[in-house]
Amino acid sequence: MRRLILASSSPYRRNILDKLRLPFESASPHINEEAFPGESAPDLASRLATEKARALCGQYPDAIIIGSDQVAECRGRQLGKPGSQEKAIKQLLFCAGHTVTFHTGLCVMDSSQGTHTTICEPFRVHFRPLDAAAASRYVELDQPLDCAGSFKAEGLGIALFEKMEGNDINTLIGLPLIRLIELLKPHGLDPLQRK
């Protein structure tokens, strides 16, 4: 079986990929994650996913490399990782009562051939109305400071939502597994095939 590399240091993505029960390694790609002027959220997510995978090709010259990146967008504004409690609360109040679309870029690259397939999978979250006290309490309890959108859907973040729309809940957490399985099969990586 070809080596499978996850181009990410995210514990969330590693936990998701573990579900497929395929042996993999993870490594941190070091890329500039700033958006180009006027770059749309889906284009940014796709570009960064591809750049992350490409960044590891030299280190893993005969591997299948998975790159993924996520950009959240609400009311025309791209939302980053808050990094502080104050910014997380502010971001949650901005999203309250609105829809946040998470654009998750996914790239599967064959480093030996230099070929890749990149897709962008959307997932929409409809936020409940929130007041400052509820937003503050949530941030205190779940500490979502390293999460785009300032919440953890796999934790108490579910209490912030009215509904969710998408093909795969894993997309919201950062790695669209349904699409990933499709992209890995042509490379001989299928979690349901006995090795």
Q: Which three-class secondary structure string do you get for 104-126?
A: EEEEEEECCCCEEEEEEEEEEEE
| SS3 of residue 139 by DSSP | helix
Mark 45-69 as b/e (b = at least 16 C-beta within 10 Å): bbbbbbbbbbbbbeebeebbbbbbb
Among residues 18, 69, 142, 168, the one annotated as catalytic is 69
CB distance 84 to 145 below 8 Å: yes
Active site residue 43: no
* Residues tagged active-site: 69
